[in-house]
Amino acid sequence: MQKNSPPTHASLVAVGDSFTEGMSDLMPDGTYRGWADLLAARMAARTPGFRYANLAVRGKLIGQIVDEQVDVAAAMGADVITLVGGLNDTLRPKCDMGRVRGLLEEAVEKLAPACEQLVLMRSPGRQGPVLERFRPRMEELFACIDRLAARHGALVVDLYAAPSLADPRLWDVDRLHLTADGHRRVAEAVWQSLGYEPEDPDWHVPPPATAPPGWATRRVADLRFTRQHLLPWIGRRLTGRSSGDGRPPKRPDLLPYETAADTGT
């Protein structure tokens, strides 16, 4: 039986917030890498002259993504565009889900015709009592994503259902962003969804079991999380500030992707 030829995508544009920017996959120089960079590196290794742009900025709400990134991405005419947004909105105490759905629909309607393949995602969600409060909103967002994908021929990468990405060990100390291994698994999931041969067929399987941390270790981690991440996050919400205020996109132009330089290898 003849195997299907691997896809040949010559360009990628990533649109979104901190998840797509790459937090918390920290590089030695203090910058973030993340799943989109990893995916671009793989695609570039297969396609000479491959081009990549990453317009994502941490903290952005779906309205900001539509206003600041969507038209720019659509004008680039890339083969593949990834759009992940709206989750930050669902984590706000006051969230108009009707507005979020409408803005997401606007984004998809602009991006789907502007590329060969639009990729949407059901974002990953770790287990924990804090997230349970917002889970109904998240699932409402994901249902909207499914409907839009079916209507516009977009791919949906279901990270939310992956057991590995619900494992706390794949989340950074801020409990909001994935570790390097988490981002690697997301890159693999998108890679496979685009039709490439799997490099890690078991990306969705959690790491081998380890002994859980003791009570004292958990309390220290909780205090650190509260002091370094939760309280500053609450402060920004109360004052209307964002971690991405004034921050430019990490790769604003659709340019050739130099694998070795951009991945730190």
pLDDT number for residue 56: 97
Question: pLDDT of 123-163, one tens digit each?
Answer: 987 665 556 788 899 999 999 999 999 999 999 999 999 99
pLDDT band at residue 233 under the 50/70/90 scheme: low
Total Cβ atoms within 10 A of residue 135: 12
Rounded distance between C-alpha atoms, residue 42 and residue 47, angstroms: 9
Per CATH, domain 11-214 is 3.30.450.370: no
**Contact yes or no for 187/42 (Cβ under 8 A):** yes
Question: Burial letters for 235-250: b for 16+ Cβ neighbours within 10 Å, e otherwise?
Answer: eeeeeeebebeeeebb
Q: 93 CB contacts (<8 Å, ≥6 apart)? A: 237
Q: 241 CB contacts (<8 Å, ≥6 apart)? A: 235
pTM summary value: 0.85
Question: pLDDT of 8-45, one tens digit each?
Answer: 899 999 999 999 999 989 899 888 999 999 999 999 99
